[in-house]
Structure 1
Amino acid sequence: MDPITTVAEINGHLAPIAFGIATIGPAIGVGIVVGKTVESVARQPELQGRLTGLMFLGIAFTEALAFVAIAVAFIPFP
């Protein structure tokens, strides 16, 4: 059995698993960002518009980590 072929087969099967595990972090991050925004709006309702904009910015940065995880999970190794 060729060792390079074996490594390629293993990486091909592990990439979706790695992506699934790597998305746990951003999911937790988005949950924290949204939860803290809801808490802040409950304390000061007059800042809802500004806090909502900041929330979406935080979600965008957090979701960028998921896109990096997609790219890294599918990088072929020699």
Structure 2
Amino acid sequence: MARLSWVPTALFVILALSFAIDVALAEKEGSLRREDCPSACKYRCSETSHKKPCMFFCKKCCDKCLCVPSGTYGHKEECPCYNNWKTKEDGPKCP
């Protein structure tokens, strides 16, 4: 019986590592890479008359969420992180 005393410890370590991997994957919401953010934001902000602030906040949101909604307006439900990030006044942070 003394030989099997390492089994519960090994199972605990395996479960702890799998949990850590799941948490790390959950933090990366989108499928974009950080280097893809400028081009995705350029398209997202292409039709606004406020390009500089749109690009600034879009890049900031993309950097955090690794996701930019499709289209030039709306579709924020595609990226919950992007959609749910709010300003202090509870307004949308991401364009």
TM-score range, shorter chain: 0.3 to 0.5
TM-score (norm 1): 0.40
Larger RCO, structures 1/2 (Cα 8 Å, 6+ apart): 1
Question: Based on CA coordinates, which of the two structures has the bigger radius of gyration?
Answer: 2
Query: Which has the larger share of helix?
Result: 1
TM-score (norm 2): 0.36
